[in-house]
Amino acid sequence: MKNISGKSFLTIAVIMLLLSGCSTVKKTNKTQRGAAIGTAGGAVIGGIIGNNVGKGNTVLGAVIGGVVGGVAGGIIGNKMDRQAEKIKNEIPGAEVERVGEGIIVTFSDKNPDGSKMGVYFEFDKSDITSNSKLALNKLVKIFNEYPETDILVEGHTDSKGADSYNMALSERRATSVGSYLKGQGISSLRLTIKWYGEEQPKTENETDIGRAENRRVEFGIVANEKMKAEAKNEAGSK
C-alpha cells in the first residue's frame, strides 16, 4: 500500500501561505483571490503545482493544474462558487471543497438508513448500490445545470488483495460510475475516467470502517474549454 507523499501536503501548505500571508488578500473572497493569483502568473503556477500535487492526489492535481488565472480566473471562480454552493445545499452529505478554479466533491455524511452517503462499494464489488445512486442522481442534476464543466471520475479500492487485482477492480468501479452518469444524460465528452487501485487511500486500511471508506469513487469538477474561452473574452472586454 502506498501513502500520499508529504511533498503534496508541503506544496499545498506553500500555496495557502502565499494566499493568506498578506492582510489585503485575507479580506478578499475566493473569486478575488483567484484573480490575484492569476495576475502573478496563475496559469503557469497552477500547471507546475498541478503536476507535482497530481502525483499524490490526482483529483487535486487536475483542479489546481487547470488554473487560468487573472481576471478570467476570477470569472470562472465566481461560476464555480455558485455550483459549489448548489452542491452543498442540495446534497447535505457532500463535502465540497473549492480549490483554485475547480471543485472537489467527497462524502462524509450518512443516508437516512445510517449507511454511507456518497459513492462507495461493497468489498470486491463494482456494482453501484442503491444508496450510491441517491448521491449520483443529485450530482447528475447539478452537472446538467452547469454544462460548461468537465468531470474527473476516479476509482479506488482498499488494500486487501493483490495490487494488480485492485487496479483492475478500481477500473471497473470508475467505469461503472462513468457508465451510470452517461446513462443519466452526462455527455461522455465531459468525462475523464481514471483508476488507481489501492495507491491513494482516503484513510487507513487497518479497520473495516477505514477500508469501506477507501472503496470509493471521487469527483473533480473543472472548467471546460468553452467556459475558459468565454471567461477570457469577458475579461478582455473589461
Model confidence, pTM:
0.70
Which residues, other chains included, contact 159 with Cβ-Cβ below 8 Å and sequence gap of 6+? 1, 166, 198, 201, 205, 211, 214
Band the pLDDT of 10: cuts 50, 70, 90. very low
CATH number of the domain within which 29 lies: 3.30.1330.60
Band the pLDDT of 147: cuts 50, 70, 90. very high
Q: What is the pLDDT of residue 57?
A: 59
Q: What is the pLDDT of residue 106?
A: 79
Q: What is the pLDDT of residue 13?
A: 43
Q: Which of 40-54, 110-124, 159-173 has the largest mean confidence?
A: 159-173
Strand order through the sheet with 94-99: 94-99, 102-107, 216-223, 149-156, 191-195
Domain for residue 1, yes or no?
no
Q: What is the pLDDT of residue 83?
A: 94
Q: What is the pLDDT of residue 70?
A: 82
Host domain of residue 173? 6-236
Domain for residue 120, yes or no?
yes
Q: Which three cell numbers stand for residue 200?
A: 491513494
Q: What is the pLDDT of residue 112?
A: 53
Q: What is the pLDDT of residues 94-115, one digit of tens each?
A: 888 888 889 988 775 555 556 6
Domain for residue 84, yes or no?
yes
Q: What is the pLDDT of residues 177-224, one digit of tens each?
A: 999 999 999 999 999 999 999 998 988 999 988 888 888 888 999 998
Q: Which of 32-36, 90-94, 223-227 has the largest mean confidence?
A: 223-227
Section 220-237 average pLDDT: 88
The domain tally of the chain equals 1
Q: Would you say 230 and 196 are in contact if contact means Cβ atoms under 8 Å apart?
A: no
Instruction: Output 108 or 48, whichever has higher pLDDT.
Output: 108
SS (H, E, C) the chain: CCCCCHHHHHHHHHHHHHHHCCHHHHCCCHHHHHHHHHHCCHHHHHHHHHHHHHCCCHHHHHHHHCCCCHHHHHHHHHHHHHHHHHHHHHCCCEEEEEECCEEEEEECCECCCCCECCCECCCCCCCCCHHHHHHHHHHHHHHHHCCCEEEEEEEECCCCCCHHHHHHHHHHHHHHHHHHHHHCCCCHHHEEEEECCCCCCCCCCCCHHHHHHHCEEEEEEEECHHHHHHHHHHHHCC
